[in-house]
Amino acid sequence: MYWEPDKECLDREELEQLQIERLQSTLTRVYAHVPFYRKKFDFVGVLPEDIESLSDLARLPFTTKDEVRGNYPYGMFAVPLREVVRIHATSGTVETAAVVGYTRNDIKTWSNLAARLLAAGGVTKDDVVQICFAYGLSTGGFGLHYGAERIGASVIPASIGNTARQIKIMKDFKTTALVSTPSYAMLVADTIREKGVPVSALSLKYGLFGAEPWSEEMRRQIQDTLGIVATDNYGLSEVLGPGVSGECLERKGLHINEDHFLAEVIDPETLRPVPAGQMGELVITTLTREAFPMIRFRTRDLTCILPESCPCGRTGRRMSRVAGRTDDMLVIKGAHVFPSHIGALLQEIGGGELCYQIVIDRRGAMDEVTVLVEADGGAFTGQERRQAGLADAIRKKLAHELGVTVDVKVVEKEALSRVEGKVKPVVDHRKL
Ligand SMILES: [Zn+2]
């Protein structure tokens, strides 16, 4: 289901024309109204009018999270406060947060973009949408709430916490769409299973999850337990909040709202663009934000642009689900590898039942990774031969997906140390 078909399915050529026009107007505005950007552009000697094509964007400097924090609280606003109707902030302590503002138009745009991802994930005006994100300074709750209202759905601002109460609301209010983080959906699924609530007692049809990395395996479990279709969506407060990109019902990557955001994917070390299909750091430039425009913002989120077009008909390029953060990046034999990516692959292999630990050491300038896996999950129990087979299967899968070989050891059941019953997924000796 499209929310704004004329925009979501815009011809690529028209889209690029719109992007360059919006980019030029954004650059002119920030140069005139935000001293931070004026200084940066002057430093590299590039004026807004020098940016004549989308590829010229690479001539402009990046903006980092530290720079945004350094302008706390209002240093990066491009309009006077009297034009700002809403203020949000990123999580963390107040003084180290990024404070973001929205004009009336920004709120309207945001509602439409959140409506796009909700509609793409199946939500219509006939749905009852339960929003289990915090309603506060962070952008999750309000962003998706306005989007669901825009569609005309019946919105329950359930916020977070008290899972038993959430499930009671879900049952009694006949919630058809759950909006939350994927890990909260897992908690709901586990609680429903523990309490023996039959899925037939619920009216759930769709789950729209975002705000943290998750895996295909998690999606499978959530979909199976709750009997829903689960889609992934992405956004971050510094550039908007939820609504930057979202999956359609094909569930194969998130369509970027490219009429509002320019997305680049770069190598986090060389800072040069990587080709489509290759993992790197997502960099976003906003094209329509009035109060808080962002130029080449380094998100620290890892993703790749998917080269194929989507059968749904949307023309916005898709990004893969976020695989982790560049801050966690390891360098193994010259390749860039992320523990969260290894974790997701292990869950796929083990069907979620695998207990594992990724141990990281440093030798010289290189990181060394050993993956310890407990031989306790279903098909892999017992004999040494099977354990060797498991280690081999994991090694092959990781080599194939990561492009490097890592050390894999299968250990006995319960051999990995536990804290409060849980195995720590990553042990990093480099920081000790
Ligand atoms: Zn699609």
pLDDT of res. 432: 46
Ramachandran angles phi, psi of 396, nearest 5°: -65, -45
From the CA of 344, how far away is ligand 1's center (Å)? 23
How many Cβ atoms are within 10 Å of 117's Cβ, its own excluded?
Answer: 31
CA of 247 to the centre of ligand 1 (A): 7
Q: Is 212 helix (H, G, I), strand (E, B) or coil?
A: coil
The predicted-structure confidence for 128-183, as pLDDT tens digits, reads as follows 999 999 898 999 999 999 999 999 999 999 998 899 999 999 999 999 999 999 98
Q: What is the mean pLDDT of residues 89-106?
A: 87
Tell me the CA–centroid distance for residue 235 and ligand 1, in Å. Answer: 17
357 has which bridge partners? 372
Residue 108 has pLDDT above 80, yes or no: yes
Q: How far is the CA of 5 from the centre of ligand 1 (A)?
A: 12
Domain 329-431 class, CATH top level: alpha beta
Phi and psi, residue 312, nearest 5°: -70, -15
Residues having C-beta closer than 5 Å to ion ligand 1: 248, 250, 310, 312, 314
- 314-328 residue pLDDT tens: 999 999 999 877 777
Q: DSSP assignment of 292-360, as one string?
A: S--SSEEEEEEE-EE-SPPTT---S-EEPPP--BGGG-EEETTEEE-HHHHHHHHHHHHTT---EEEEE
Q: What is the pLDDT of residue 92?
A: 66
| Ligand 1 centroid, distance to 243 Cα (angstroms) | 15
In the reported structure, the alpha carbon of residue 202 is separated from the centroid of ligand 1 by a whole-number distance in angstroms of 28
| Sequence ranges of the domains in the chain | 1-323, 329-431
85: CB partners within 8 A, 6+ apart: 102, 103, 104, 107
Distance 25 CA to ligand 1 centre (A): 29
Q: How remote is the CA of residue 293 from the centroid of ligand 1, in Å?
A: 27
Phi, psi of 359 (to 5 degrees): -105, 125
Supply the pLDDT for residue 88. 96
Give this prediction's pTM: 0.82
Residue closest to 323 by CA, chosen among 344, 351, 352: 344
Six-digit token string for 116: 């796009």
SS3 136: coil
Residue 223 CA to its chain's centroid (Å)? 19
CA atoms within 13 A on the CB side of 297: 25
pLDDT at 381 over 80: no
What's the gap in Å between 104 CA and the centre of ligand 1? 30
Predicted confidence (pLDDT) at residue 382 exceeds the cutoff of 70: no
CA dist 373 and 394 (Å) reads: 9
Query: Which tokens belong to 319?
Result: 């990004």
Under the banding of pLDDT at 50, 70 and 90, the label for residue 251 is very high
Distance 251 CA to ligand 1 centre (A): 8
Q: What is the mean pLDDT of residues 90-104?
A: 85
Distance 230 CA to ligand 1 centre (A): 14
Runs of H (alpha helix) within 152-215: 163-172, 182-195
Q: How far is the CA of 307 from the centre of ligand 1 (A)?
A: 13
Residue 349 is encoded by which pair of tokens?
A: 């292999």
DSSP SS3 for 207? strand
CATH number of 1-323: 3.40.50.12780
Cα of 367 vs centre of ligand 1, distance in Å, is 38
How far, in Å, from the CA of 246 to the mean position of ligand 1? Answer: 9
Question: Sheet containing 254-256: which strands, arranged edge to edge?
Answer: 154-156, 128-131, 177-180, 206-210, 229-236, 241-247, 254-256, 318-319, 305-306
Reported as a single tens digit per residue, the pLDDT across 31-80 is: 999 999 999 999 999 999 999 999 999 999 999 999 998 999 999 999 99
Q: Average pLDDT in the 230-240 region?
A: 97
